[in-house]
Amino acid sequence: MALKSASKLSDRQEGDSHALTVDEARRRILDDTPVLATTVATAVRDALGAVLGEDVLSPIDVPAHTNSAVDGYALRAEDLAAPGPTTLQVSGTAYAGRPFKGKVSAGQCVRIMTGAPMPNGADTVVMQEHTQASGTSVTVDTVVRPGQNVRQAGEDLAKGGTALRTGTRIGPAQLGLLASLGRAEVRVLRPLRVAIFSTGDELRPVGEPLQDGQIYDSNRYTLYAMLRRLGVELIDLGVVEDTPEALREAFTHSATVADVIISTGGVSVGEADFVKQVLHELGEVGFWTIAMKPGRPLAYGRVNACPFFGLPGNPVAVMVTFYQLVRPALLRMQGETPSYPLPPLHLPCQSAIRKKPGRTEFLRGVLCDGPDGEPAVRLSGPQGSGILRSMAEADCFIVLAPERGDVASGETVDVQPFAGLI
């Protein structure tokens, strides 16, 4: 896969003074992100979560016929022009699927159900709650507007109109729309293939006993969950040894079977962190450090033509960097146009926060009610980048801009809810 941008990415030195801002890093990644072009045909029911690979045109008007939006009585609006109650003769009933075959003439109406085609001659529907029936007649004592409670044929979508555009992710509403058009099959972009692995000789698989100095490999499980929600095809290479030889083999293999590579750990400047060395040998490094917390050491580059993201080893830093930088790129690779950064909420913060200017900080927060009953936010707990519990209890990020310093309790902060993100 060739990247859209042919320009080479220049490496940045370690050190906050040379680190990219979050916005610049995100922009450079998105500018250099390839878009999959391969589409596959799939049954509509199996397309949930996939991204459309074609524009879908409507073969019919939606709705297919002018119909009633409520249960009530279909009539001629001109018959209710006189002030005061008007009594009309009920000449029949119209059901969805069983329309009234006759014509509504002056002084007449038709009992009509929601979705039933409008009878010939009628132009308005009065809700049954606004009428009083008696035998074969009904009395209307309300002001009506011509065309009231009537859905016109093609009102939602005209025949030949674009129902859904290429790049649309198919959710429940889109799936229902496709079915309403009679589509049994649709072309979608093939799933993105993502290779993942963890580095660190201290990591052990879950279910095995820990020895001194060992920890469980939680990062791959977090990555697995975040990626599964994007509908990608996962290639899990497990834990890779912290040796140049093992990393070289993992990178080389991943670049031949995947569209993108994501690793966790091994991207700091420790003596046993060989990711950068191997990446320089096999491909190119775009940048290495970002002025953000958590997540300062994040590697972005390429192995052959395959984009690579080297995420930090701390669990929370993995999640923050994934949502802020990796997820937008994966959405674009899948053909979906991501909206980043997500528009923030501006809420008073009930927690005092200490911060030095110079980098963007993402803190775990909980949406709550303030003292006045209005929406507010507070920290979810300790903010160490290795503390997953406060991430599990959070429902939003509190985002502090680079220029911002300490936050006093009650000051307004930017808040990025997890809804629609995670």
Whether the per-residue pLDDT at 321 is higher than 80: the answer is yes
Whether the per-residue pLDDT at 150 is higher than 70: the answer is yes
The β-bridge relationship of strands 137-140 and 131-134 is antiparallel
Q: Minimal CA–CA distance to 329: which of 258, 398, 230, 247? A: 230
Distance, CA of 247 to CA of 198 (rounded, Å) = 10
Q: Minimal CA–CA distance to 362: which of 278, 290, 293? A: 293
CA 322 to chain centre: 14
Distance (Å) of CA 61 to CA 68, 70, 76, 180:
16, 20, 24, 10
pLDDT band at 273 (very low <50, low <70, confident <90, very high): low
At the fourth CATH level, which superfamily is domain 345-417? Answer: MoeA, C-terminal, domain IV (2.40.340.10)
* Residue 15: predicted pLDDT: 41
96-124 pLDDT, tens digit each: 999 999 999 999 999 999 999 999 999 99
* Residue 111: predicted pLDDT: 98
304-315 pLDDT, tens digit each: 889 999 998 889
C-alpha R_g of the chain: 30
62-87 pLDDT, tens digit each: 899 999 999 999 999 999 988 889 99
The dihedral region occupied by 358, where left means phi > 0, alpha psi between -120 and 50, and beta the remainder, is left
pLDDT band at 16 (very low <50, low <70, confident <90, very high): low
Distance (Å) of CA 422 to CA 50, 264, 280, 394:
17, 19, 32, 11
Q: Minimal CA–CA distance to 297: which of 318, 282, 324? A: 318
So where are the chain's domains?
16-38+190-333, 40-62+155-189, 67-151, 345-417
pLDDT band at 241 (very low <50, low <70, confident <90, very high): confident
- pTM exceeds 0.75: yes
Cβ neighbours for 422, distance < 8 A, ≥ 6 positions apart: 226, 229, 323
Distance, CA of 171 to CA of 268 (rounded, Å) = 39
* Residue 353: predicted pLDDT: 97
Task: Indicate the CATH number of 40-62+155-189 among 3.90.105.10, 2.30.31.70, 3.90.1150.10, 1.10.260.40.
Answer: 3.90.105.10
The residue ranking higher by pLDDT, 18 or 147, is: 147
Distance (Å) of CA 16 to CA 20, 245, 365:
8, 30, 25
With pLDDT > 70 as the criterion, what percentage of the chain qualifies? 92
pLDDT band at 14 (very low <50, low <70, confident <90, very high): very low
Whether the per-residue pLDDT at 1 is higher than 50: the answer is no
* Residue 319: predicted pLDDT: 94
CB 116 within 8 Å of CB 95: yes
Q: Minimal CA–CA distance to 262: which of 337, 335, 326? A: 326
pLDDT band at 4 (very low <50, low <70, confident <90, very high): very low
Structural fold of domain 16-38+190-333: Molybdenum Cofactor Biosythetic Enzyme; Chain A (3.40.980)
Half-sphere exposure of 198 (CA within 13 A, CB side): 22
The CATH number of the structural domain formed by 67-151 is 2.170.190.11
Shared fold status for 40-62+155-189 and 67-151: no
Beta-bridge mates of residue 57: 162
Whether the per-residue pLDDT at 6 is higher than 50: the answer is no
Distance, CA of 178 to CA of 290 (rounded, Å) = 42
Half-sphere exposure of 182 (CA within 13 A, CB side): 9
Whether the per-residue pLDDT at 94 is higher than 90: the answer is yes
48-64 pLDDT, tens digit each: 989 999 999 999 998 99
DSSP 8-state assignment for residue 324: I
